Structure 1
């Protein structure tokens, strides 16, 4: 019987209103680590507190990493459409040419 794993891609809103995208296997612990400032070299260290805006669970780490990379390349507006699960807007923004 295959083992079920939990991997999460998550998006945080930082105190400066920027977004941080990450991947973890324990969302609760990772969020606490971001807010406690465990790593002085992390992007979120000087941007605390952070607020969880979105997460999605994956069974396979490869799928989670692929999605994390994809979302990191998205515009702010497209990430906000994801928060709202506005799939029409995500598609529209995907086809939008500057």
Structure 2
């Protein structure tokens, strides 16, 4: 399979958008910033800033990770963006309690 990337954009209203692309995540973020799709979540929340990317060798792994992150709380996404993996583990443990 082809390499894939997940990315997180921070929107002007403070919300986060998680997406998936097989292309350069910076290029994809630029498309969101340009507002090419008026039906997209980010369209009315511009400007957007690319705050996180992660690459995967397999597309299915990227898809699974994107879906998992989309279900996370804002706090957990912020912790991932900050790459605070110790806190991320604690937040994951709390969710199971």
Higher mean C-alpha displacement, 57-66 vs 84-93 = 84-93
Structure 1: segments with no counterpart, 5+ residues: none
Residues 5-44 of structure 1: matches in 2 within 5 Å? Answer: 5-26=2-23, 27-44=25-42
Q: Secondary structure at the match of 2:68?
A: helix
Q: 1:29: how far off?
A: 2.1
Structure 2 partner of 1:77: 75
Unpaired segments ≥5 residues, structure 2: none
SS at match of 1:63: helix
4+ long deviations beyond 2 Å: none
- Aligned to 2:43, which of 42, 45, 50? 45
Counterparts of 2:83 and 2:26, CA distance in 1: 22
Give how far 1:86 is off.
1.2
TM-score if structure 1 supplies the norm length?
0.89
- Once the two structures are superposed, the pairs formed by residues 46-65 of structure 1 within 5 Å of their partners are 46-65=44-63
